[in-house]
A and B are shown apart, each in its own frame.
Chain A
Amino acid sequence: MTAPCPSLRELSAYLDGEVSPGVRAALEAHLSACSGCRTRLTELGAVGAMVRAHVEARAERADLSGFAARVLARLEPYRPSFSERLRVSWEEWRTHRPGLLVGAVGLATAGLALLLLVPGQAADVSERSGAMVRSVSTDEQAHVAPVVLKTENGDAIIWLVDHPDRPSLSIGNDASVPEVTPPSQPRPKAGEL
């Protein structure tokens, strides 16, 4: 006696590879004997194939150049929590230690500033920190150490860079001045925050 034909629901799940091995074996035994169910299965598969071919072909015509830039232009300023920034910075620093991070200090606003200065982002720095940064440089051998300042509003972390005599990388307006901290900006003390 032949097993009854499977439901469409079962065939659909079989098509997606989402049935148990036992059910699959039973379905395959049935399919090998029932041409009607084989046609139903093929037909279900054809729906999917058509949808895919049709929508993907239409999507190919789209011009997505500049898409990411338009998205970025629409972003609201994202303010991650301080602990989030601290956590991420710490992880990043552990991963990419040398040469990449330079401490940048500029606590002009009441908010807590954590600036990670990466080459290529130098242009943003003075604007974000509110400090007049004339030049920023780093050295591959620089010793980088985080210093946590306890304040009434929370904690601030400042990346301090021990700067040796020989800078190997300079970024900023005046590359000839190998200064890490802004010359006009005294290093903040906890009491000033």
Chain B
Amino acid sequence: MPTDDLTLVRRARSGDQRAFRLLVERYQKKVYTVALGMVKDPEEALDVAQEAFVKVHRYLGHFKGDSSFYTWLYRITTNVCIDVLRRRGGSRADAVEYDDSVELDLAEANLGALSSQLDTDPSRAALRRELGDKLEEALAQLPEKHRAILLLRELEGMSYEDLARTLDIPKGTVMSRLFHARAKVQRLLSGYLAGEPDPRKERK
């Protein structure tokens, strides 16, 4: 049976590097995937993931055993990502705080376009790549904190409780940010699907 996180953290705190290495190996893929979703560039995502683990090690002494290790790890990862994005410039994190009283809705015009894409024949890989690019564009347009919450939810399946703890926000805010993020991505993508038919088809 693998040693549980808290035991490894305890050993790492006593200076046991092998225990810390096990923690890194256990979470490196997950942390990298979240970082990749946040910063997009693979090399930068590797740097971010490394930096996150270095910080985790540096602050091991501050980790309170009352929360799970992984929520703490993702909190640090998210913060490192946001720092990188802000250094990169063009941050919209604070500029685009939404008004929670406004009910956002989905793009009604092309409703269902997205879900139908999921059934697409896998051989249409080119279209999917293009869709992937559009998805990246849509993600990039989300405020960082919304992007983080969407990624943590979708990639890690974190509960609202854990998301609230990880991001240090109330559960109601978790709920709002998630649906804003989803609605915005849906609107951007279905706009693309409605407005830009596959150019290769047009040429035929």
Contacts and interface: CB of A to CB of B under 8 A. Distances in A.
Interface stretch (A22-30, A76-84, A153-161): A76-84
A46 B179 contact: no
B14 A62 contact: no
A48 B106 contact: no
B176 A9 contact: yes
> Do most interface residues of chain B lie in helix, strand or loop, or is the interface mixed?
helix
A13 interface: yes
Given A43-B115, A55-B36, A71-B54, A16 B28 contact: no
B10 A51 contact: no
B61 interface: yes
A85 interface: yes
A46 B50 contact: no
Given A16-B160, A62-B42, A62-B46, 18 more contacts: A8-B104, A8-B105, A12-B179, A12-B183, A18-B160, A39-B111, A43-B114, A46-B117, A47-B185, A51-B135, A51-B185, A64-B29, A67-B46, A71-B24, A76-B57, A78-B15, A78-B57, A85-B15
Interface of B: 10-15, 17, 20-21, 24-25, 28-29, 32-33, 36-37, 42, 45-46, 49-50, 53-54, 57-58, 60-61, 103-106, 111-112, 114-115, 117-118, 131-132, 135-136, 139, 150-151, 153-155, 159-160, 175-176, 178-179, 182-183, 185-186, 189-190
